Amino acid sequence: MYLSTPRVADDVLAGDTVVISHSCLSRHTSSGTVACVLACLNFVRVAFARVDAGLVGKQLLDDLISRETTEEILSISAQWQLELEANQAQTLELKEIQEAPLFRNPLDLKKSFVGIPSSTTLESLFSCPQARPNPHVAVVITRPLETIACFKLAITGIGSFEETTIFVIFDPHARLTRPDGVGFVIRASINDAVASHFASADVVELQRQTPLATSFSGHVFVPNVKHTPEQMHESLIKSSLVALAMQQRIAQLERDAEVLQAALTVLQQKIFRCPLCLEDLPEEEVALVADCSHKVCRGCMKGYVVSKLGDKVYPIFCPTCMVETVPEPGQITDELVQLLGITDAQYRVFQEMEIAPHSVLIHCRNCNSGISVDRTDHNATTIIQCPLLDCKFKWCKECQQEVHLIGPVHSCDGTNEMNHLLAQRGWRRCPGGSGLTRCQTPFQKNEGCNHMKCIAPGCNTHFCYLCGEMIVRSSVRAEVSGAVAAHYARCRLFEYM
Residue 271 lies in a domain: no
Q: Give the pLDDT band of residue 496 (cuts 50, 70, 90).
A: low
- C-beta separation of 222 from 204 below 8 A: no
- The pLDDT, as a whole number, for residue 193 is 66
What's the pLDDT score for residue 406?
Answer: 77
Q: Are residues 45 and 68 in the same domain?
A: yes
Same domain, 456 and 328: no
CATH classification of the domain holding 212: 3.90.70
In a domain, 494, yes or no: no
**In the chain, pLDDT over 90 holds for what percent of residues?**
3
Q: Which domain holds residue 360?
A: 354-425
Higher pLDDT, 142 or 80: 142
Is 266 part of a structural domain of the chain? no
Q: Is the peptide bond before 315 cis (omega within 30 degrees of 0)?
A: yes
Residues above pLDDT 70, as percent of the chain: 82
Q: Per the structure, how many domains does the chain have?
A: 4
Q: How many CB atoms within 10 Å of residue 404?
A: 9
The model's pLDDT over 223-246, given as tens digits with 9 standing for 90+, comes to: 887 656 676 666 667 666 766 777
Which of the residue ranges 77-86, 204-213, 294-303, 451-460 would you say has the lowest mean pLDDT? 204-213
User: How confident is the model over 1-32, as pLDDT tens digits?
Assistant: 333 445 788 888 888 888 888 876 655 555 56
Do residue 158 and residue 50 come from a single domain?
yes
Please check the confidence at residue 472 and state whether its pLDDT lies above 80: yes
**209 and 99 fall within a common domain:** yes
Residue 475 lies in a domain: yes
In the listed set 197, 226, 255, which residue is the last one of a domain according to the structure? 226
Q: Which of 162, 195, 226 is the last residue of a domain?
A: 226
**Residue 180 reports pLDDT greater than 70:** no
Confidence check: pLDDT of 205 > 60: no
From CA 386, how far away is CA 378, in angstroms rounded? Answer: 12
pLDDT at 158: 55
Q: Which range, 200-214, 233-247, 255-269, has the best average confidence (pLDDT)?
A: 255-269
What pLDDT is stored for residue 15 in this prediction?
A: 80
Q: Report the pLDDT averaged over residues 443-472.
A: 87
Q: Which tens digits make up the pLDDT trace of 275-299?
A: 888 888 777 788 888 778 788 888 8
Band of the pLDDT at 44, cuts 50, 70, 90?
A: very high
Tell me what pLDDT residue 112 has.
85
- Shared domain for 217 and 326, answered yes or no, is no
Highest mean pLDDT among 54-68, 268-282, 350-364, 410-424: 54-68
Give pLDDT tens digits for 355-410.
777 778 888 888 888 888 888 888 888 888 888 888 888 888 888 887 877 777 77
Residue 117 — very low, low, confident or very high, per pLDDT cuts 50/70/90?
A: low
